[in-house]
A and B are shown apart, each in its own frame.
Chain A
């Protein structure tokens, strides 16, 4: 009975919520707006949100129809992006049937877009902490190199969530494993050569001719062509400086648009990264020399890269706590990174690297109204998100975790 009532209440809550959120304009008053754009930081500024977009950023905006959110000088940032995450693909890591981030069947062409679960408990949890978009990638595919293709999802959690951009980039790894990395490089080269042959043979294949796709499927080869022909980014998970240099050479030869991920030794090759204009995704807190590929791991990598002119993207490997990228950014600042650059590393730098910067990643007129109002400095560990808006709708701050908290505060007699 109690359960039934609480379900009913939450249903009513959901309905009424979406009804008013659907139709209303929102006006955020008197915020300190960290725009992540060339506008920089705007004090005492209002943001008007209409039809899911940011329609005006100015002082003293008036709008009688809008829901007013009085910021009272609190900070507003663009919604945070999780750059490489399993969010929506994974519920409990050790329970295989709750995971859709791995396959033994496909490699480069493993597209995860159909597996995204908008009702995952991880989604409201990370949303309530400021993550509004997730760039969701698989963890591993068939073979040692390619993991597959990633897609972008908003975290509003609506049951009919579709990717806002599908198969936008590929992820692969390079580095020490059972096989020689030299062999991995040869295999990589062979895969791209095969994709090129496949392209040339398309006409022949359509006429019914036979093409041996080798160890790859047609999907895998199409995906590799997507990198070469459409310039989709290839994310390379790798740590050793010399591996990154080889991959830079490779990317030039095949005209690939690459992003390094992990990249613990990236600080050793900043000149080459700048010259080739390669963004780097890092977890600034992970300074452990966890393998011989990452001996050079250090705590100030974010600062060293940013100061050299490398575009830094901050992301956390753990999907459950994707939002801890904020703490990562805070630690990057503690170790020398510029504060504004750190906010950009959570927002626009990510959107930019994945070609999403015309719609998300900063507070600018015309962009999606994905914004977060914070109760303090967003990089501080004691700060919470007060209001999270996605596509112009105020989202619920409730999470399963908070429900458990509320129940047991009573059970233990603290409420």
Chain B
């Protein structure tokens, strides 16, 4: 009886393996299945035809168009310009106010480090091993973080949620639309590529060096990345070898078993997953470019990038973006050499071919990314660099969109793109400017004059006063 049962479970196991293990053909299907299983379920209702008239538009493409209109229909921008046909559209008179694309933050921890910051909600760093490419930020996201609504009131329509920077290779990041949903899948930006968060410098070596384990130095960091990529390349090779074996020669035992972390790293090697890398120092960024060269992958953006200005030409030559703060500094040694002109210098390097992004990494600053861009612009102008507002708005719209692989869908006001827009009360580069109306996919998601216009998170309901809402 005991023998029987042992034997039968072995048979079942063999049958299962035979059934589940795919051949070369079905391996692709498995990959698709994995992506399908976690794909976005966000499908906005078709929006009505709306025309915004009398708007001054910073398009996100670098241009300003004065006194023009924007026509939106069925979640998309249909037309931009003067004398648009507005028949059967509801009309919003912008009264000469500024309109920009929806603001995009490429570096957020909303949802994974939500408010209130409780131990039980601290889900952003799997700081138990320096290499954790197998974790996905979206599996930590709390959909009821009250910070989303605050960001919406600051004009944020999409944001990228990254894991923290404790690890050399931290895990997958996810791009979300700033819409309320009961599920994280209901917030996911449809078809946006995943990112892989990696981190240079002080954080990994402090976290693991502090436990007397590797890495405890910057050279330990670099050895850590290289070893991880060697492993990923080996895995990639074995997968390919198995795939290339003729079907009749395939042995079940030869098939490489699935490895979540290495699957993510192969995604990078194959160009499907974008590397977003936390890195402060100039020379470290350039070392990382060598690591990327050694293993033939691309770094999309260096985040925080306090010293990007020291290597701005090299970044531009390699088509790598830098995502920066306007003025944060001094909280650690690698953040000591901050200059206000960082963003502007990156932008202007190599004949204005640099890719500059202003990011928040903060639930406070994400509410006023326009002001952070304004400070960076003012510093650049004062240093004599020739940058206008049409270009500077790209730091918080089109450039982050491109760096997130969604630049064909959002980040600028042009026909065919998602109707994500902000109407501002004043010049968006003014401290007094507030987002008056925020549209996401053609739907008015926030109206400063209508307290009922935005959806509260669960957290905000009845938490101060059972009869009322928090905001």
Which residues of A approach B to under 8 Å, CB–CB? 91-95, 121-122, 285-292, 294-296, 298-299, 318, 320-321, 324, 327, 330-331, 333-335, 379-384, 401-402, 404-405, 408-409, 411-415
Question: A248 CA to B20 CA in the complex, in Å?
Answer: 69
Question: Which A residues touch B367, using CB under 8 A?
Answer: 285, 287, 299
Question: A331 CA to B431 CA in the complex, in Å?
Answer: 6
Question: Which A residues touch B375, using CB under 8 A?
Answer: 327, 381-382
Question: A93 CA to B378 CA in the complex, in Å?
Answer: 27
CB distance from A385 to the nearest CB of B (A): 11
* B391 close to A (CB within 8 Å): no
CB distance from B223 to the nearest CB of A (A): 23
Offer 20 A-B interface pairs, CB within 8 angstroms, sorted by A.
A93-B331, A94-B331, A94-B332, A288-B363, A288-B364, A292-B116, A320-B329, A321-B329, A380-B431, A381-B375, A381-B431, A382-B375, A382-B429, A401-B329, A402-B339, A408-B310, A412-B309, A412-B313, A412-B348, A412-B349
Question: Which A residues touch B27, using CB under 8 A?
Answer: none
Chain B interface main SS type: loop
Across the A-B interface, give the 6 residue pairs with the lowest CB-CB distance, nearest first: A330-B431, A382-B378, A320-B330, A94-B332, A405-B339, A93-B331
Question: Which B residues touch A401, using CB under 8 A?
Answer: 329, 337-340
CB distance from B394 to the nearest CB of A (A): 17
Question: Which B residues touch A122, using CB under 8 A?
Answer: 330
Further 13 A-B residue pairs, CB within 8 A, beyond A91-B330, A285-B364, A292-B116: A95-B332, A287-B150, A289-B116, A296-B464, A298-B471, A299-B367, A321-B327, A331-B371, A381-B375, A381-B429, A401-B339, A402-B339, A404-B337
Size class of the B contact interface (CB-based, 8 Å): 35 or more
Question: Which B residues touch A296, using CB under 8 A?
Answer: 464, 470
Complex contact B202–A94 (CB within 8 A): yes
CB distance from B348 to the nearest CB of A (A): 6
CB distance from A263 to the nearest CB of B (A): 15
Question: Which A residues touch B309, using CB under 8 A?
Answer: 404-405, 408, 412
Nearest to A98 among chain B residues (CB) is B333
Complex contact B385–A295 (CB within 8 A): no
Question: A286 CA to B147 CA in the complex, in Å?
Answer: 12
CB distance from B91 to the nearest CB of A (A): 27
Complex contact A409–B383 (CB within 8 A): yes
Complex contact B432–A334 (CB within 8 A): yes
* B232 close to A (CB within 8 Å): no
Question: Which A residues touch B470, using CB under 8 A?
Answer: 289, 295-296
Given known A290-B115, A321-B327, contact A331–B333 (CB-CB < 8 A): no
Nearest to B352 among chain A residues (CB) is A414
* B336 close to A (CB within 8 Å): yes
Question: A162 CA to B17 CA in the complex, in Å?
Answer: 78
Nearest to A293 among chain B residues (CB) is B116
Question: A92 CA to B202 CA in the complex, in Å?
Answer: 13
Complex contact A327–B336 (CB within 8 A): no
Question: Which A residues touch B385, using CB under 8 A?
Answer: 414
Given known A290-B117, A382-B375, contact A405–B430 (CB-CB < 8 A): no
Given known A91-B330, A291-B116, contact A404–B464 (CB-CB < 8 A): no
Given known A288-B150, A288-B364, A290-B116, contact A409–B327 (CB-CB < 8 A): no
Question: Which A residues touch B179, using CB under 8 A?
Answer: none
Complex contact A286–B364 (CB within 8 A): yes
Question: Which A residues touch B312, using CB under 8 A?
Answer: 408, 412
Complex contact B345–A408 (CB within 8 A): yes
